[in-house]
Structure 1
């Protein structure tokens, strides 16, 4: 009986999918010489922003605070540090399950007092499911590569691999990040597509016994 040999091949697969969710950072920054006044104004505006988003149907659990910061501000006059007042920053992350509402959500937040929008990020709600589909296709690709090689060598191959290793996965291109100027300027926002790629290394046995 001929001793079997091992063939190592690589498989890859890429799936292009449209993003179906988005996240955006919305916030209010206030300044005043009185800390109490800066806090009160910030709280009032932020509550108005959050309530307006809730009225659009965004679930409360999809709005979460990401930053709350109080810091003193100073100017430098003739080399001297001069106290200018306090700055209060309150930022929330908003998860948007209907990406067709992104423009409406941004406009609503700004109309109700938001003056900071840091990023708009389009993503996938089911990245693991998409990756597993790509992983399955990557294994088929590796098997096809192995069969091509063994057919060329005119030897038989066991179609069931003796080992399969996942290689680092990638999502390319990364979802585009939008600045506040872009999302409030009326420029059409295109979510584009996300490419989910899976790569594997597989080992197959081959020889005259298969």
Structure 2
């Protein structure tokens, strides 16, 4: 794991008290980022078949999907980690001279496969595309219990804010009260899109790293 901190973002305010003693606040933004490796992949796969007969299109689709499910179980994916996302059967039309002509039917069956085997994703893609899958819609990576990493990022954000406030107070020649007057959690988007690297052997999928970021606006009294 690596930790990074954001650039300073702060303000300084002074105001007069009735006893003519000066008192003020320092406002800083603390940023904490935790870099983690994804541990879960969600893979959307599609089996699509087209035939002039709806019944034959459905039968072919079912046969191909059954082969895909068998392959997934052979490589160790539990059945409960395979979910049907959508199923559709639709007519396909062509237009000639303003007339609608039925060409056939498309049957489309989409499933989502959840796996924690990051190293086996490439092999999975190869096996299922050889046995019936004709579209890989998406591969999404995530981590287990992202809330735990976010709480860790919050801790680093608070430390970052304190460090910035202490540095600014020293430059201004004022004393800093280490207990914040107020802490505001800023909205952020934890996680960034995974990097995918495709090479010339099989279908290697590199999930890369994800960053979970927290931002805090912290107000200190001086």
Q: Distance in 2 between matches of 1:26 and 1:73?
A: 22
Aligned twin of 1:186: 202
Range with greater deviation from structure 2 (99-108 or 43-52) = 43-52
Q: Is the 8 A contact 1:103 1:183 kept in 2?
A: no
**2:170 matches 1:168:** no
Of the candidates 130, 134, 143, which is equivalent to residue 115 of structure 1? 134
Change (3 A) 1:14 1:130: same
Q: Distance in 1 between matches of 2:70 and 2:204?
A: 26
Q: Is the 8 A contact 2:169 2:175 kept in 1?
A: yes
**Where do 1:1-210 residues align within 5 Å?**
4-171=23-190, 173-176=192-195, 186-206=202-222
Q: Which has the higher helix share?
A: 1
Range with greater deviation from structure 2 (6-15 or 85-94) = 6-15
Unaligned runs of 5+ in 2: 1-18
Unaligned runs of 5+ in 1: none
| SS at structure 1 position matched to 2:187 | strand
Q: Is the 8 A contact 1:121 1:177 kept in 2?
A: no
- Per the TM alignment, residue 74 of structure 1 is displaced from its structure 2 partner at its CA by 0.7
Q: Distance in 2 between matches of 1:112 and 1:125?
A: 31
Number of positions where the alignment pairs a residue of Structure 1 with one of Structure 2: 203
Q: Distance in 2 between matches of 1:162 and 1:23?
A: 43
Tell me the TM-score normalised to structure 1 length: 0.86
Tell me the TM-score normalised to structure 2 length: 0.82
Change (3 A) 1:159 1:136: same
Change (3 A) 1:148 1:122: same
- Per the TM alignment, residue 59 of structure 1 is displaced from its structure 2 partner at its CA by 2.1
| SS at structure 2 position matched to 1:50 | helix
